[in-house]
Amino acid sequence: MASRSSSARASSVRTQKTKQLPASARSAVASRSGWGRWALGGWLLLVFWLSVEYARLPDVSDLRTQHPRTTALMDQRAEEARAEGKKPRVRQTWVTMGAVAPHALDAVLTSEDARFFRHEGVDWVEVENALQQSVRKARLGRGASTLTQQLAKNLYLSTDRSLLRKAKELLLARRLESHLSKQHILTLYVNVVEWGDGVYGIEAAAREHFGISARTLSVAQGAMLAAMLPAPRRWLPAQRPEALRTRASSIIVRLEREGRINARQARDAQAELSRFFDVSPEPESVADAIARLRSGS
């Protein structure tokens, strides 16, 4: 009883104090209280929505044993072609990782998701870096989608940039990571990703753009395919855009820096890139020249 009476008195005192406040202050207190309830309600609705959407996500377990016959991206491109009065074009050949030049796979990882084997579907380090870059430049900067997120989008979602689609992409990425191994996710990715108009997968891309198999891609060719991925329908090797050459050259530099290729491979790849784009190679630095002389190359 004493405790209840004390609690009642405390509540009465708080009420009296609130009544004694100026009207503007009482309004601010009521406003904060109202916003708090709205925030809590919004949070609960978000949690409920995420739970419902997660339950409605596609079952990815079938991907363990069979290739997807089509993807959401392929279906979208087919609809776009038909809307323009064209016949949809699909070039795709499934291959294992053993049938792809290792340096081509390294180029894709270096370009799209260098921390692929260290995250669980979402790379929060990259998300933080992207947000910081956006704040510094006062505009939306680079994306931070992992390779797994890109796979989720290609398989099941559209290319629209809505927050709803992004939320589903994050949920699907976690589901893919929980059901499939990293190697399996990488295999799926390089077999379904878009590499030109109606070109899907690295084997079809190698044959479409260079007339060879993915197994025989050179370092420079692998870098060019990796460099295409941000804009696979615009940055085409046949058109030799400067953006593709610059990005491919940067990927080669990163491959050497990360120890994926040695100095001679890097030099040869840069030279091949220069020949392909018919430009004069960049003059080497004094340090590079000394290193080359010491290696006897």
Average per-residue pLDDT for the chain: 83
Alpha-carbon distance of 110 to 226, in angstroms, equals 8
Residue 140 has, within 13 A of its CA and on its CB side, a CA count of 3
What is the rounded (10 degree) CA torsion for 210, 73, 231, 271? -20
Residue 25's pLDDT is what?
52
Contact partners, residue 208, CB within 8 Å, separation at least 6: 91, 195, 196, 199
For the whole model, what pTM was predicted? 0.76
Write down the residue that tokens 């916003």 correspond to.
Answer: 35
**Domain residue spans of the chain:** 76-295
Range with the lowest mean pLDDT among 11-25, 88-102, 228-242, 246-260? 11-25
- 156 and 63 in contact (C-beta within 8 Å)? no
Helix (H, G, I), strand (E, B) or coil at 176: helix
Alpha carbon 231 to its chain centroid, in Å, reads 13
* Secondary structure, 3-state, 207-246: HHHHCCCHHHCCHHHHHHHHHHCCCCCCCCHHHCCHHHHH
Helix (H, G, I), strand (E, B) or coil at 90: coil
- State pLDDT tens for residues 244-281: 999 999 999 999 999 999 999 999 999 999 999 997 65
Q: Does the pLDDT at position 123 exceed 60?
A: yes
Architecture of domain 76-295: Orthogonal Bundle (1.10)
Residue 46's pLDDT is what?
73
